[in-house]
Structure 1
Amino acid sequence: MNRSRVPRPQPSWGKTGHYTIASVACEQVKPANLNILMTANRDRVSVGQQISVGPKNGTTTRAKDKGFVPLADVPDLVWKNLPSAVKGGRDTAFRTGPEHPNHYADIDQPLDGVTLRQRCVADPANVSVPVWQDYYTRLGHTAPDDRGLLPFRVWQFFDELVAAIAAKDPVRFVAAAGLVAHYVGDACQPLHGSFMADGLADGTGKGVHSAYESTMIDRHQVEIDSGIADALMTTSPPAAVQSGAGAAAAVVQLMDRSAKAVDPLTLVTAYAKVAKKPDDDSVAVTDALWKAFGTRTVGLLADGALTLAMIWQSAWTAAGGDSAFAPADLAAIDRAALQHLYEDPGYVPSLILDTIGPSLSQ
């Protein structure tokens, strides 16, 4: 199923999901100095002001004063926009640009009897650009939007975290930490790893994407806030990684756990059964989805937060964060400095699968 025929809805996980994952991760990091730094910047990474999320003239809007956007949703609220509409936007046409395929990877479509997700979980060496290029090409997915590269985007940001520590630059580190939170959040959303991203090719289940991951999540924020502590206690943190390649493999493993916890086909079928029309995100529909998948969804958010914390910690340990930063560096970063970075299209540039390879550490 080509994305050119079934456009991907926007945004992703809604404001509640992305900000919850980022905020919880700030609490979960273990190295004392890293915990101090991320706690001091929690309101830079997650919600610190009112954000307007929703369609406006075909774009996803941000704070009306065009001010600072908490980092965890910059990839949606800023980068997936035209630069003429939002400063820092990276789109090249309406809802089109290299940033978009960085948010997903349809790796559950069988090829030769096995999915790419299964191949990568069985052997992390398959989390490589050439393997993924071959998979998509053989399935007939040749357009950039049909060649999702989510794990490689996390690899790219892991490299930036390490580089920021080597440069002894806390502004770059906090920026990268907050921004990569978005993609790790996408990875624990099961529809971001599926060719059934917004239903089946025949139109069955159209609208499930935004109904489940945005409207349902936002409507049940109270239950999420009350349930995530218990979910964290029953979720095992993933093992530390040593490199960007390891971070990418860990993201594929997160995507695998997410798809097993909330099977995309089961989710699409459940939505189609209760939806009265396409794109139905009514209270009755989203409450039915919450009843069926709510507890497991809170578990996905907890898993995403723990995976994000692990990626931060791994980069910090690998690059020697404790020795790179002085106590004075472990403080709240000026918002304007962070905004200057994310509004620069050259900062951790948005690339497609066929161009990202040379930028990744080997």
Structure 2
Amino acid sequence: MFSIRRRAVLAAAVLVAVPSLLMAWGNWGHQRVNRAAVLALPAPMRTFFYNHIDFVVTEAVIPDSRKYVLSDRAEGPRHYVDLENYGDDLNAIPHAAADAYAKYDAAQLDKEGRLPWYVQDMMVKLTAAMKKQHKDEILFVAADLGHYLGDATQPLHTSANHDGQKTGQKGVHAFYESQMVEQFGKTYNFKLAEPKFIEDPTAEIWRIVLQAHAAADTLLAVEKQLAAATPADQVIEASNGQPRKNIFNSSYRTQAYTAAVHQKLNRMVERQLRTAAQATANFWYTAWVNAGKPDLTKLDTEYTTKSNEHNLKEELKTLDKSGKLVDFSSFTEFPQGK
């Protein structure tokens, strides 16, 4: 297994190489979901996770890198679930991972997505790592779990119409999860509630997925309506007479159009990101409780903890006062400026 230091180096090297289609909240969103979750944890957990917050934040986007940079074929289906393709009756879809693996063959799961069941698998692994008090495994699995919970809250990761390709809205995926987030994310409130113990993680992940799925139609309807009512040259930003593209070949929407959609969605993006961060804190906390509440602070030296005390206090003070996270750098898919 890679050491935490080697994983962080790998992460930094590959961020810019990852296409955006399966990155539910882009680098900017995924990383802030994990950071907000760390700060919401109770003190016995928070101290340990904050000691390694750079790793937990960086690792938040590595599940996407594994698919595209390392060509890990098993990775892709973990990020989505095309619910419509599992049948018209959503209630007939098995909720428990064991039941789903018994009902569907591997080919169907790989095609239509494994997301809610993989979250269950990750919870088993995180709880086991907590029980063993295996430091690297705890951080690695917890950070990845935050990514998949982020995916579960992104409406388009629960729909077969994941990029608006079935409704003439191709490109809406990156627009929703990255451009809007990058343009307005600094205004979002990331102050979370104290994490709650989840009595039934299987039911909870399905509650999250079904809530996100219900929002997909709203998202697509709002964007389609505004696009039809807006002149084309005011929807897509132009550069030298051609649609402006980012490094992943996704078209920029104009800032005015992005603002109009964001407003019409009535802060849906912020709500879903907060849901992701709160869910991440809740699932981490539940794994810790189920593991017997081990003393994670013993996994670090006193020097490490003392070195981070001041920054943790200041960061919590800022969050309590303004609801804002500290301003840290993330790779942006839609940088402004020519």
Report the TM-score when normalising by structure 2. Answer: 0.69
Conservation of the 8 A alpha-carbon contact between 2:127 and 2:291: yes
Give, in angstroms, the shift of residue 257 of structure 1: 2.5
Output the aligned Cα RMSD.
Answer: 3.0
Give the equivalent residue in structure 1 for 2:67: 80
Give the aligned residue type for 1:33: P
1:99 aligns with 2:47: no
Summarize the Cα distance change of 1:264–1:324 in structure 2 as closer, same or farther, 3 Å threshold: closer
Give the equivalent residue in structure 2 for 1:9: 21
Conservation of the 8 A alpha-carbon contact between 1:45 and 1:71: yes
Give the equivalent residue in structure 1 for 2:247: none
Give the equivalent residue in structure 2 for 1:267: 219
Q: Which runs of 5+ in 2 are unaligned?
A: 1-18, 237-242, 244-249, 306-338
Give the aligned residue type for 1:114: D
SS in 1 for 2:287: helix
Summarize the Cα distance change of 1:10–1:103 in structure 2 as closer, same or farther, 3 Å threshold: closer
Give the equivalent residue in structure 2 for 1:186: 151
Q: Which has the higher helix share?
A: 2
1:293 aligns with 2:265: yes
* Distance in 1 between residues matched to 2:217 and 2:50, nearest whole Å: 38
Give, in angstroms, the shift of residue 327 of structure 1: 6.2
Give % identity.
Answer: 25
1:315 aligns with 2:287: yes
Give, in angstroms, the shift of residue 43 of structure 1: 1.8
Summarize the Cα distance change of 1:72–1:8 in structure 2 as closer, same or farther, 3 Å threshold: closer
Please list, as runs of the form range in 1=range in 2, the aligned pairs for 1:109-188 lying within 5 A after superposition: 111=87, 114-115=89-90, 118-119=91-92, 126-131=95-100, 134=103, 143=108, 145-188=110-153
Report the TM-score when normalising by structure 1. Answer: 0.65
- Superposed CA deviations along residues 149-185 of structure 1, whole A, max 9, x for unmatched, are 1122222221221221232211211111111110011
Give, in angstroms, the shift of residue 269 of structure 1: 2.5
* Distance in 1 between residues matched to 2:81 and 2:142, nearest whole Å: 21
Give the equivalent residue in structure 2 for 1:196: 161
Give, in angstroms, the shift of residue 38 of structure 1: 1.3
- Runs of at least 4 residues off by over 3 Å: 108-111, 128-134, 141-145, 236-239, 273-281, 327-332
Give, in angstroms, the shift of residue 34 of structure 1: 0.9
Give the equivalent residue in structure 1 for 2:324: none
Number of aligned residue pairs: give it: 266
Structure 1 counterpart of 2:59, from 71, 81, 84: 71
Summarize the Cα distance change of 1:24–1:199 in structure 2 as closer, same or farther, 3 Å threshold: same
Give the aligned residue type for 2:253: S
Summarize the Cα distance change of 1:328–1:20 in structure 2 as closer, same or farther, 3 Å threshold: closer
Give, in angstroms, the shift of residue 247 of structure 1: 2.8
* Distance in 2 between residues matched to 1:103 and 1:218, nearest whole Å: 21
Conservation of the 8 A alpha-carbon contact between 1:166 and 1:324: no
Please list, as runs of the form range in 1=range in 2, the aligned pairs for 1:186-225 lying within 5 A after superposition: 186-201=151-166, 203-224=167-188
Give, in angstroms, the shift of residue 221 of structure 1: 2.0
